[in-house]
Structure 1
Amino acid sequence: MDKITEIFCSIDDFCQEFVPFWHKNLLSNGKKRIRNTKMNLAEVMTIQVIFHLSGYKTFKEFYLGYVCKHLKNEFPTLVSYNRMVELKKESFMPLAIYLKVCGLANCTGISFIDSTPLRVCDKRRINQHKVFKNIAMRGQCSLGWFYGFKLHIITNDQGGIIDFMITKGNTDDRKPLRFKAFIKKLFGKLFGDKGYISKSLFTELFTSGIHLVTKLRKNMKTKLLTPMSDAYHLRKRAIIETIFDQLKNICQVEHSRHRSVANYFNKFIKQTRLNYIRSSQKIVDEIFETRPKLKKKLLDDKDVSKIIYSLRSEVWNKFLKDEINFNAEVMKNLHTIYTLAQSVTANERKKPQHIQIAGDGTEMIGNESLINRAKRKTISRAMLFSLADIAKDKGAAERAKSYWNAYYCCTTLTEHNKRLHTNYCKTRYCTICNAIRKADKIHTYYPVLKNWENPYFVTLTVKSVKADKLQRWIFGMKKAFRKINDRCRQRHHRGAKMRLIGIKSLECNFNPSKNTYNPHYHIIVPNRETALYLVQEWRKQWNRNGKFHCTRKAQHFRAVENLERDLIETIKYGTKVFTEPNPNDKKRIKKDMKIYARAMDNINAAMKGKRIFDRFGFNLPQQEEKEANVRTVENYKLWEFVSNATDWINTDTGECLTGYNMSIDLKYLLSECIDVEFQ
């Protein structure tokens, strides 16, 4: 069977089902008869598709010089050229539906997206162009300015077009990805160039089950969680450029000879359908040997070393264990690997032979802090799962992404030489990272503060407010403290003895009984005079023009008796995880503890972008920066923190790492006492 017959059979099968339904639902006045044409619809559509395979520049030359002379046996009912032009217009709607129903490829879990300009005229003739006036627009691409449209295409790793969209030339490349209809067939990983970098877009797609992977700009911070296969596929994005080349140079999508808007889009649909035929398994490979696709091969050590060298620090910190050993079997089952919810267990996935680790790691033997870390991980998971849902309901996609990053923090531990290595999210919502950050701050500031003769602990606060005013109130507190500090510095320069020195942290508590939020500062200063000065200036700053926003009773200062304890009180999380329903009733605290997740999200939203901990009036001694000790190891073990457990479990033996078990009280708190409505 030749290629013309195969194309015709595919189109004819579609027409036999579609045409009766189409004619039945057409709007008509009842006077016009719908008669069968001499040349049926399937033949007209087939000739149009074959035209774009032929290499002819114009349809008239192709039809009169080739079809009418050499294809009379295949099309015995040929009509005149003028009649063929009329039939072409009538076939526009069936071609469009045929493309959407039968002409697009399926997603395989690996997809590529890119855009290319479709110029409708030379940029020197923009003012004289009339066919697409007020429709086409000026746009800019890597090759310069153009006038026309943009073609956005999503393809799979086999070169098949999953979906496409035509927009005006001045449309942002990221805009089509915000249309649900454009990405409804996608899942797994979507690879794009630097033009698709966007935090909000990444989060929107991630919540829809699509992982957007792009290269980094030069001014961006290095991302550490880049799997090896992502680096490999980013280098294989040229597959979509091959498709653009076929559409433009073989199928002639782009030229300046269009005479009507309808004819332009009619031709484009035929050309896009042709690309599907090129990549379809229904058409034998011997017909179209130029079909672009991604080679399925195993990455050997040389390939790995080349990619690591070229990407340097971009790929050094994380190699997902189901992606390093990248082979044909993985490619065959990409739909199960590149989804957010993996459908196989850790024991069923093949363990990579090599893995990269960085840093000194955490001591494994005799380290009691691992039990506390397992407890924090358990609390974080329960809390962050609710916070992510709340942020999603509020439309805060970026904050939801941060919650999910914290949720998956320390999920996988790598054991090597009796030390544990992992990756940390470093967000302020993660209790594990906050504990590490707190220990680091204590190690840094304790040697400085212990030299102060008589340090004082100060608490500065203002009146409690509702959730809608919290962000403005926190901004006012930071501004007020900055004014006090600047005023004291200016007085010191003019000869005053007083100089503000200390450390401060911002914290906010939620009062469920009054439904209010109380932001406040915890401060440690060197002496009593500084503490008294701060309280006086704070009250003076807030109580002006007859308005009283803070009282003397609410401001506290006392001598530091235990420096380490007060330093821990200052360097903490920004908000409490467990809150008592009535803070004034101290007898019922342990019984009625709750996690008010929506209130916690309000506090996190108000503190976004605000520095919680800071020093003022002094500098720290310079510390040497530690170099990242990156190395590749072979002998290692993997520990996974699974969702239905409270500990890390060895993926080979099923052994528990710490042996931590939740207490009954904590289990009750995490299962029954997380309030997601009250705020």
Structure 2
Amino acid sequence: MSKNTQQPVKRLPRRAASSAPAFAPHSGRPLDKLAHQVTSPSVTGGAAVVEDDFRITKNAQFSAKENFGKRARVKFLTEAMAVGLANVPASKLTKSYWNTFYCSTILQKKGDSLTGKYCKNRWCLVCCRIRSAQLIKQYAPVLQSWPEKHLVTLTVPNCSGDDLAATVKQMKAGFDTIRRSWAMQHRRKQRAAPLVALRKLEATHNPDRDDYHPHFHLVVPDLASANELRVAWLSQFPSAQWKGQDVRPANAGAAHELFKYFTKLVTTQSKERFIRLAPLNVIFEAIAGQCTFQKFNIPTTKEVASDEEADALAEELNIDAVFEWVQAQADWVDKESGEMLTNYKPTPQFKKFVETKIVYNSPQKKPMNSD
């Protein structure tokens, strides 16, 4: 990655027809449907099941404005970040970043219900909040049934941005070797059970070294499985250090961390907090084509919308109001009446952060260690 210093971010003009991108806004397809590979579950092989998608099965209930005030805060940050990412030079994801810019821009209100279209991109904070909540709801009963559950972190040595995608693929291949080995031993009655786990892929950027840290977080049912998994991982990656592989009891809070974002958006350098666009783009490009959350040998069912809910989602008539996001107001606004949807007001500190701390790259960098 180039050693560019901080660069100004281009701003898209207000949503006039002449300034909109040449392509249509995102229509609400599944999360990264064309960007990650789905593995079909196998009864005997214990194959992974991709859980990167989420479904909007109900209209959002607008009975409490404070709840949508939180969503307005997230939208305020996401839109500014999306504009910056869309202006990263030569990014392969420019179109997807603009899709995020339009995410939930228009909300239709009918009674106490709101409907909108979501981009479902991994970097969209609006969509990530929804997906995280749904994953927690889906897997909370599983985690509660594991009284001795442990959190496992599996790492490899840091790599450059150019090597990040290949490193992630190597990690997943090594993990799959372990999974298949355990499944075979189980079929031969050499193990009591195949690998049972929830796994999340994460990648972070070190601004001082300008390198990247891909790693897995897993929750497994017991300490024995955790320790055995750590040993098996080090056999696959001898260059990884024992101290980098962490095993600890997983309380409810630690387990819920598994369902949060797959990278840290905010980094700290010299006691200042920034959102650095160029390193984030490197991570997002490297993760494209890789699922970030998977379950292994855990039976779960997804909620299916009822007929009444499906009818409500399809309803497009008799709309009481149409609200459009206005970044300058940090809120959705009814263009006919001027009414604001949430009356959210960002604090001066948060507004300053959004306006000044989303930067192209680190002001200063040190070369990556050769050893």
The reply to whether residue 518 of structure 1 matches residue 213 of structure 2 is yes
Identity of aligned residues (%): 28
Of 268, 280, 289 in structure 2, the residue corresponding to residue 600 of structure 1 is 280
- List alignment gaps of at least 5 residues for structure 1: 1-187, 190-205, 214-221, 226-357, 583-587
Q: Which residue of the partner structure matches residue 327 of structure 1?
A: none
Contact in 1 for aligned 2:153/2:215 (Cα 8 Å): yes
Contact in 2 for aligned 1:504/1:615 (Cα 8 Å): yes
Q: Which residue of the partner structure matches residue 243 of structure 2?
A: 553
The reply to whether residue 571 of structure 1 matches residue 259 of structure 2 is yes
Residues 83-232 of structure 1 mapped to structure 2, 5 A cutoff: 210-211=22-23
Q: What is the CA–CA distance in structure 1 between the aligned matches of 2:330 and 2:282, rounded to whole Å?
A: 28
The reply to whether residue 649 of structure 1 matches residue 347 of structure 2 is no
Of 133, 147, 157 in structure 2, the residue corresponding to residue 453 of structure 1 is 147
Q: Secondary structure at the match of 1:487?
A: helix
Please tell me the residue identity of whatever aligns with 2:63.
Answer: I
Contact in 2 for aligned 1:470/1:517 (Cα 8 Å): yes
Q: Which residue of the partner structure matches residue 387 of structure 1?
A: 85
Question: TM-score, with normalisation over the residues of structure 1?
Answer: 0.44
Of 146, 169, 193 in structure 2, the residue corresponding to residue 475 of structure 1 is 169
Of 38, 59, 63 in structure 2, the residue corresponding to residue 361 of structure 1 is 59
1:395 is displaced (CA, Å) by 5.1
Residues 608-647 of structure 1 mapped to structure 2, 5 A cutoff: 608-621=288-301, 623-627=303-307, 628-629=310-311, 630-647=314-331
Residues 123-522 of structure 1 mapped to structure 2, 5 A cutoff: 210-211=22-23, 360-390=58-88, 393-394=89-90, 396=92, 399-495=93-189, 496-522=191-217
Q: What is the CA–CA distance in structure 2 between the aligned matches of 1:623 and 1:377, rounded to whole Å?
A: 26
Please tell me the residue identity of whatever aligns with 1:637.
Answer: A
Contact in 2 for aligned 1:507/1:522 (Cα 8 Å): yes
Please tell me the residue identity of whatever aligns with 1:655.
Answer: E
- Given the superposition, is the C-alpha separation of residues 382 and 623 from structure 1 closer, same or farther in structure 2, using an over 3 Å criterion? closer
Q: What is the CA–CA distance in structure 2 between the aligned matches of 1:359 and 1:525, rounded to whole Å?
A: 30
Q: What is the CA–CA distance in structure 1 between the aligned matches of 2:337 and 2:24, rounded to whole Å?
A: 34
- Given the superposition, is the C-alpha separation of residues 526 and 211 from structure 1 closer, same or farther in structure 2, using an over 3 Å criterion? closer
Q: What is the CA–CA distance in structure 2 between the aligned matches of 1:515 and 1:538, rounded to whole Å?
A: 26
1:677 is displaced (CA, Å) by 3.4
1:631 is displaced (CA, Å) by 2.2
Contact in 2 for aligned 1:359/1:421 (Cα 8 Å): no
Please tell me the residue identity of whatever aligns with 2:223.
Answer: R
Please tell me the residue identity of whatever aligns with 2:234.
Answer: R
Larger relative contact order (Cα-Cα within 8 Å, sequence gap ≥ 6) = 2
Contact in 1 for aligned 2:104/2:118 (Cα 8 Å): yes
Please tell me the residue identity of whatever aligns with 2:231.
Answer: Q
Contact in 1 for aligned 2:28/2:120 (Cα 8 Å): no
Q: Which residue of the partner structure matches residue 39 of structure 2?
A: none
Q: Secondary structure at the match of 1:553?
A: helix
Q: Which residue of the partner structure matches residue 46 of structure 2?
A: none
1:367 is displaced (CA, Å) by 4.6
| Deviation per residue, 1:541-593 (Å, 9 max, x gap) | 101xxxx1x111111111122x2x223311122111111126xxxxx3xxx11
1:212 is displaced (CA, Å) by 7.7
User: Size of the alignment, in residue pairs?
Assistant: 316
Q: Which residue of the partner structure matches residue 672 of structure 1?
A: 356
Q: What is the CA–CA distance in structure 2 between the aligned matches of 1:430 and 1:622, rounded to whole Å?
A: 22
Q: Secondary structure at the match of 2:261?
A: coil
Please tell me the residue identity of whatever aligns with 1:675.
Answer: V
Q: Which residue of the partner structure matches residue 231 of structure 2?
A: 536
- Given the superposition, is the C-alpha separation of residues 657 and 621 from structure 1 closer, same or farther in structure 2, using an over 3 Å criterion? closer
- Given the superposition, is the C-alpha separation of residues 381 and 621 from structure 1 closer, same or farther in structure 2, using an over 3 Å criterion? closer
1:653 is displaced (CA, Å) by 2.1
- Given the superposition, is the C-alpha separation of residues 433 and 493 from structure 1 closer, same or farther in structure 2, using an over 3 Å criterion? same
Q: Secondary structure at the match of 2:232?
A: helix
1:663 is displaced (CA, Å) by 1.8
- Given the superposition, is the C-alpha separation of residues 560 and 659 from structure 1 closer, same or farther in structure 2, using an over 3 Å criterion? same
Please tell me the residue identity of whatever aligns with 2:118.
Answer: Y
Q: What is the CA–CA distance in structure 1 between the aligned matches of 2:256 and 2:28, rounded to whole Å?
A: 30
Q: Secondary structure at the match of 1:484?
A: helix
1:659 is displaced (CA, Å) by 1.7
1:626 is displaced (CA, Å) by 4.3
Please tell me the residue identity of whatever aligns with 1:523.
Answer: L
Question: TM-score, with normalisation over the residues of structure 2?
Answer: 0.80
Q: Secondary structure at the match of 1:477?
A: helix
- Given the superposition, is the C-alpha separation of residues 453 and 468 from structure 1 closer, same or farther in structure 2, using an over 3 Å criterion? same
Q: What is the CA–CA distance in structure 2 between the aligned matches of 1:609 and 1:456, rounded to whole Å?
A: 28
1:369 is displaced (CA, Å) by 2.1
Q: What is the CA–CA distance in structure 1 between the aligned matches of 2:319 and 2:79, rounded to whole Å?
A: 30
Q: What is the CA–CA distance in structure 2 between the aligned matches of 1:622 and 1:659, rounded to whole Å?
A: 35
| Deviation per residue, 1:525-546 (Å, 9 max, x gap) | 0000010011111111101xxx
Q: Which residue of the partner structure matches residue 580 of structure 1?
A: 268
Contact in 2 for aligned 1:415/1:638 (Cα 8 Å): yes
- Given the superposition, is the C-alpha separation of residues 395 and 660 from structure 1 closer, same or farther in structure 2, using an over 3 Å criterion? closer
Contact in 1 for aligned 2:27/2:118 (Cα 8 Å): no
Contact in 2 for aligned 1:498/1:530 (Cα 8 Å): no
Q: What is the CA–CA distance in structure 2 between the aligned matches of 1:486 and 1:674, rounded to whole Å?
A: 43
Q: What is the CA–CA distance in structure 2 between the aligned matches of 1:625 and 1:420, rounded to whole Å?
A: 16
- Given the superposition, is the C-alpha separation of residues 635 and 608 from structure 1 closer, same or farther in structure 2, using an over 3 Å criterion? closer
Runs of 4+ residues over 6 Å off in structure 1: none
Please tell me the residue identity of whatever aligns with 2:220.
Answer: V
Please tell me the residue identity of whatever aligns with 2:327.
Answer: S
Q: Secondary structure at the match of 2:328?
A: coil
Please tell me the residue identity of whatever aligns with 1:372.
Answer: K
- Given the superposition, is the C-alpha separation of residues 559 and 657 from structure 1 closer, same or farther in structure 2, using an over 3 Å criterion? same
